[in-house]
Amino acid sequence: MNKLNRRKFLKGGLLGGAAALTMSRKAAASESFEGYPDSMGVLVDLTRCIGCRTCEAACNHEQNLPAPDKPFNDYSVFDERGPEGQKRRTTEKAYTVVNRYDTEKGPVFRKFQCNHCQEPTCLTACFVNAYTKTPEGAVIYNPKVCVGCRTCMVACPFYVPAYSYSSATNPVVKKCIMCYDTRLKFGRPPACVEACPQEVMTFGKRKDLIKLGHERIRNNPGKYIDHLYGETEVGGTSWMYLSGVDFNQVGFDTTLGNQPILANVKEFLAMVPMVLTIWPALFTGFHLLATRKEAAKEEQNKNEKGVKP
Amino acid sequence: MKRFVGQGVAIPVDSLIKPNGGGSWSIKEKLLLGLTPEQYMKTLVRNPFNWLLAAIYVVGVPVVVLRFVKGLGYVTHASYDYPWGLFLAWGLFTMVPLSASGFMMGTTVELFGRKDFKPIERLGLLNGLLGYFFAVMFLQVDLGQPWRLIYPMFVSLGPAAVLFLVAWHVATYLSVQVAELVPAASEWLGMKQPKKVIKSVSLGLTIAGIILSTLHQGALGALFTYAPGKVHPLWYSPEFQWIHFLTSAVFGGLCMLIVVSTLAKWFMRWRMDDTFKNSLDPLTLGLAKGASLAMFTYLIIKILAVAHGNKWGYLFTGWGEYYLFELTVGVVVPLILFTSAIRNQRPGLARVAAFMGVFGIALNRINTALIAFNWKLYKEVPAWREVLIVLTVYATYIVVYRAILARLPILYTWKGQAGKYPG
């Protein structure tokens, strides 16, 4: 019986060890990440936007998206509302949308697209590694490996990724990739930035844009709220915003905090290797304890048998 | 079936050899439960439940087919804000904890050596296997590209993701559960070797089951820690989410086992042998004891999470009332009923509590995934086609479950090893 137990113990240990091997990379991957030093970004100045939707049209053209339901010079879209009064959002046909917010300072227009987080939750939540944060700052997506679990959509704190539900054979995630393939890779600004007639958006190195944003706040007293949205939110984003009114009045979530979303998940991830290493020994121990009387009895039986002849 | 048993036909099949010395059963005869094809058809037609299933299939199967022909957008609301709908809220997040019975029973019998639970062990294992298998089926309905299911295993690995862990562990655990049920199948098929092999590694399998279950049950909860701002604070806790999901899976699995054994007692009594019938009531109370301990633990940790996050204020909102409703109906009341049932030796009461416990799990998981999800946005009501697909897949789960219970030695002991529970 003792021999059998030892063998069983080894088997249990081996199984656990095999599991530990497959999972050990997890711990390494969840370390904190400061962001690429020379990554690019865009500074959006909400006070300059007039809601002309030129950026939407440029995006549609650049990304070869299907024709919109209403033309880009139709401004009735600003009054469109979802089932519970929510404004337009990014869809599989539109990677960026402009919405109008009526505030005490008059109408404010806000362009909305993927913010290209420094530590993107979509990326960390993806179990097939479909997302990449490039050194240039873009968060890009590989449709060839995507299984379609849509965890990235659940995980995105900004409700950005959309999904082509209409496709039966090749549905994929649809989101802004900062024109990576056609422009950013070659050092050129995204199509929307270049198309804007109001110079709402400034393209540049993220660290320079942070300085520029704070300069504008300092040089124009009273014009801006003293906050650069995206500088620190969820660990920082490549797209950052200046606004003349409180950010929560113009559709920004101001409750997200400055930690990357992944910090919430680490509580669980940290526990994984412990379970993998401690559980096998612990439960084998429990088994030996729980069955010790049986084992003793069997041993006794064997001894008695041994004495008989 | 009852009628045929009464008529003295040599059924149900419970050994390799026909009772009146007529040689051994053929596979076909075993599949037909020892009835002639005509008799078997009669039993099928006479059962009103089969008519209900047929009705679900008539409307449901075309919709399932259309989901794959026309895409997810045809059957769901194709919501970008609610990427996960009923397929996952029910099919994955609810089915998996209700299937924790497999590892619970394995642990009780094989690891802690509680041989008294042996008669119900196989039902626990089967409930686990089928629950997981159909959770994967639900996942296949939900995934955008189900044919890429193995991508996280072999094609493109994202090991830092919680879902990566769920995928690997559910896949590994499914094979563990298949292995754990090999003895039952090999008895029925009349093969000795597979059973021997499995028996020699049963402790290893059980421990692997515990590790995998701890991690993936917890991981299902941890998935929601990716969405801190979206899930209502009362249903969300970065520190305790995975513990909540794990501890509730413990009583979820045990309650489901009581529910399934109760349904079997009502509708498949003909298939049970005396050992099972006689031990069912005391075992129900034994399971109730385990479930009530887990419920108590869960309740404490739930309160702890509210205190830890200082979320008391939320309790006095509408969401708070709903949260307290979930905890009261799904945990507190069944806990009291279980306690009373154990003290007064009333298995019937424990069964009522178990039904409530299962309801409580479903409520909690659907709340976390759908109702308290996007609490600052609008509410998503699943499309009718989505509901219909869930019904159809679940009906298939019931059909397969019933078919296996009627055949394999789960509710009865296979004769050939006289009087002893094999395994």
Q: Are A191 and A61 in contact (CB under 8 A)?
A: yes
pLDDT for the residue numbered A16: 46
DSSP for B85-111 reads -HHHHHHTTTHHHHTTHHHHHHIIIII
How far is the first Cα of chain B from the last one, in angstroms, to the nearest whole number?
28
Count of domains for chain B: 1
Strand partners, A239: A42
Q: Is A128 on the interface with B (CB under 8 A)?
A: yes
Strand partners, B373: B231
In a domain, B421, yes or no: no
Same-domain check for residues A135 and A47: yes
pLDDT for the residue numbered A34: 65
In a domain, A71, yes or no: yes
Strand partners, A139: A133
In a domain, B225, yes or no: yes
Q: Whose structure tokens read 């299902």?
A: B220
DSSP for B283-341 reads HHHHHHHHHHHHHHHHHHHHHHHHHHTT-GGGGGSHHHHHHHHHHIIIIIHHHHHHHHH
Phi, psi of A78, rounded to the nearest 5 degrees: -65, -20
Q: Are B93 and B220 in contact (CB under 8 A)?
A: yes
Could A256 and B229 be called an inter-chain contact, meaning their C-beta atoms sit closer than 8 Å? Answer: yes
Distance CA B156, CA A123 (A): 13
In a domain, B6, yes or no: no
User: Average pLDDT for residues A70-84, to the nearest whole number?
Assistant: 89
Residue A222 has pLDDT above 60, yes or no: yes
Could A279 and B207 be called an inter-chain contact, meaning their C-beta atoms sit closer than 8 Å? Answer: yes
How many CB atoms within 10 Å of residue B62? 13
In a domain, A184, yes or no: yes
Q: Whose structure tokens read 């003895």?
A: B183
Strand partners, A229: A241
Note the residue count of chain A: 309
* Angle in degrees, CA B413, B416, B421, rounded to 5: 35
Residue A36 has pLDDT above 90, yes or no: no
CA A80 to mean position of chain CA atoms: 27
In a domain, A102, yes or no: yes
Residue B246 has pLDDT above 50, yes or no: yes
Of A12, A126, A147, the CB nearest to B145: A147
Largest interatomic CA distance in chain A: 104
Residue A9 has pLDDT above 90, yes or no: no
| Among B43, B50, B183, residue whose Cα is nearest residue B122 | B183
A46-62 pLDDT, tens digit each: 999 999 999 999 999 99
Amino acid, res. B280: L
pLDDT for the residue numbered A25: 42
CATH number reported for the structural domain that contains residue B219 in this entry: 1.20.1630.10
pLDDT for the residue numbered A29: 43
Q: Are B130 and B396 in contact (CB under 8 A)?
A: no
| Among B418, B419, B415, residue whose Cα is nearest residue B187 | B415
DSSP character at residue B419:
T
Residue-number span of the structural domain to which B276 is assigned: 21-407
Same-domain check for residues A158 and A184: yes
CATH number reported for the structural domain that contains residue A241 in this entry: 3.30.70.20
Same-domain check for residues A182 and A283: no
Query: Mutate which of A154, A176, A266, A289 to test chain B, going by most B C-beta atoms within 10 A?
Result: A154
Q: Are A193 and A203 in contact (CB under 8 A)?
A: yes
Residue A20 has pLDDT above 80, yes or no: no
Same-domain check for residues A11 and A61: no
Of A15, A23, A128, the CB nearest to B158: A128
Q: For a pLDDT cut of 90, what percent of chain A falls above it?
A: 69
B2-39 pLDDT, tens digit each: 556 555 555 567 777 776 666 777 888 888 887 888 88
Same-domain check for residues A90 and A118: yes
Prior bond of B12 cis (ω within 30°): yes
Distance from CA of A159 to the nearest CA of B (A): 7
pLDDT for the residue numbered A7: 46
Residue-number span of the structural domain to which A22 is assigned: 2-30+270-307
Q: Is A268 on the interface with B (CB under 8 A)?
A: yes
Of B207, B218, B238, the CB nearest to A15: B207
Spell out the alpha helix ranges (H) of A156-245. 191-195, 206-219
Distance CA A233, CA A118 (A): 10
In a domain, B380, yes or no: yes
Query: Mutate which of B69, B153, B211 to test chain A, going by most A C-beta atoms within 10 A?
Result: B211
pLDDT for the residue numbered A194: 95
**Which residues have a Cβ under 8 Å from the Cβ of A153 and sit 6 or more positions away?**
A122, A159, A161, A162, A163, A173, B80, B83
Distance CA B90, CA B85 (A): 8
Same-domain check for residues A276 and A244: no
A117-121, B179-183, B279-283: least confidently modelled range: B179-183
How many CB atoms within 10 Å of residue B115? 15
A20 or B304, greater pLDDT: B304
A266-270, B9-13, B354-358: least confidently modelled range: B9-13
Same-domain check for residues A26 and A46: no
pLDDT for the residue numbered B21: 65
A80-109 pLDDT, tens digit each: 888 778 899 999 999 999 999 999 889 999
Q: Whose structure tokens read 């950026």?
A: A55
Identify all chain B residues contacting A147, using CB atoms and an 8 Å cutoff.
Answer: 143-145, 148-149, 151-152
Query: Mutate which of B72, B115, B116, B175 to test chain A, going by most A C-beta atoms within 10 A?
Result: B72
Largest interatomic CA distance in chain B: 74
Could B73 and A165 be called an inter-chain contact, meaning their C-beta atoms sit closer than 8 Å? Answer: yes
Q: Whose structure tokens read 């029973």?
A: B105
Interface of A with B in 198-217 (CB under 8 A): none
Q: Is A125 on the interface with B (CB under 8 A)?
A: yes
Q: Is B215 on the interface with A (CB under 8 A)?
A: yes
Question: Strand A40-45 to strand A239-242: parallel, antiparallel, or no bridges (unpaired)?
Answer: parallel
| Among A125, A143, A238, A124, residue whose Cα is nearest residue A181 | A143
Distance CA B214, CA B119 (A): 25
Of B107, B110, B159, the CB nearest to A26: B159
Same-domain check for residues A82 and A199: yes
Amino acid, res. B336: I
Joined together, the tokens standing for residue A224 give: 């801006």
How many CB atoms within 10 Å of residue A39? 19
What is the count of residue pairs from A and B with beta carbons less than 8 Å apart?
Answer: 221
A61-65, A131-135, B160-164: least confidently modelled range: B160-164
In a domain, B173, yes or no: yes
Same-domain check for residues A296 and A178: no
Of B156, B161, B204, the CB nearest to A12: B204
Of the pLDDT bands very low, low, confident and very high (cuts 50, 70, 90), residue B419 is very low
In a domain, B11, yes or no: no
Could A290 and B167 be called an inter-chain contact, meaning their C-beta atoms sit closer than 8 Å? Answer: no
User: Average pLDDT for residues A3-18, to the nearest whole number?
Assistant: 46
| Among A159, A161, A157, residue whose Cα is nearest residue A257 | A157
Q: Are B285 and B341 in contact (CB under 8 A)?
A: yes
What are the b/e assignments for B338-367, b being 16+ CB within 10 Å?
bbebbeeebbebbbbbbbbbbbbbbbbbbb
CA B43 to mean position of chain CA atoms: 27
List of E strands, A5-96: 40-45
Distance CA A181, CA A143 (A): 14
pLDDT for the residue numbered B58: 96
**Which residues have a Cβ under 8 Å from the Cβ of A103 and sit 6 or more positions away?**
A245, A249, A250
**Which residues have a Cβ under 8 Å from the Cβ of B417 and sit 6 or more positions away?**
none
Question: Residues A133, A134, A136, A140: what is their CA dihedral angle, to the nearest 10 degrees?
Answer: -70
In a domain, A35, yes or no: no
B266-303 pLDDT, tens digit each: 999 988 988 999 999 999 999 999 999 999 999 999 99
Interface of B with A in 64-83 (CB under 8 A): 68-73, 76, 78, 80-81, 83
Distance CA A6, CA A135 (A): 52
**Which residues have a Cβ under 8 Å from the Cβ of A292 and sit 6 or more positions away?**
none
Q: Are A238 and A137 in contact (CB under 8 A)?
A: yes
Provide the mean pLDDT of chain A.
Answer: 87
In a domain, B82, yes or no: yes
Count of domains for chain A: 2
Find the helix or strand (DSSP H, E) in which A103 lies.
Answer: strand A97-103
Same-domain check for residues A178 and A277: no
pLDDT for the residue numbered A23: 46
Find the helix or strand (DSSP H, E) in which A110 lies.
Answer: strand A106-112
Q: Is A26 on the interface with B (CB under 8 A)?
A: yes
User: Average pLDDT for residues B38-59, to the nearest whole number?
Assistant: 91
pLDDT for the residue numbered A155: 95
User: Average pLDDT for residues A192-204, to the nearest whole number?
Assistant: 95
In a domain, A16, yes or no: yes
Strand partners, B231: B373
Same-domain check for residues A254 and A172: yes
pLDDT for the residue numbered A3: 44
Q: Are B367 and B224 in contact (CB under 8 A)?
A: no
Distance from CA of B82 to the nearest CA of A (A): 7
Could you tell me which chain A residue has the CA closest to the CA of B241? Answer: A268
Burial class (CB in 10 A: 0-12, 13-18, 19+), B386: buried
pLDDT for the residue numbered A289: 87
Of the pLDDT bands very low, low, confident and very high (cuts 50, 70, 90), residue A258 is very high
Q: Is A81 on the interface with B (CB under 8 A)?
A: no
Give this complex's ipTM.
0.88
Distance CA A45, CA A240 (A): 9
Q: Is A269 on the interface with B (CB under 8 A)?
A: yes
B204-224 pLDDT, tens digit each: 888 888 999 999 999 999 999
Question: Residues B177, B178, B180, B181: what is their CA dihedral angle, to the nearest 10 degrees?
Answer: 120
In a domain, B422, yes or no: no
Phi, psi of A106, rounded to the nearest 5 degrees: 90, -175
DSSP character at residue B156:
S
Identify all chain A residues contacting B149, using CB atoms and an 8 Å cutoff.
Answer: 147
Residue A189 has pLDDT above 90, yes or no: yes
Of A90, A171, A280, the CB nearest to B207: A280
DSSP for A114-170 reads ---BSS-HHHHH-TT--EEE-TTS-EEE-TTT-----HHHHH-TT---EE-TT-SS-
Distance CA A152, CA B213 (A): 24
Same-domain check for residues A132 and A257: yes
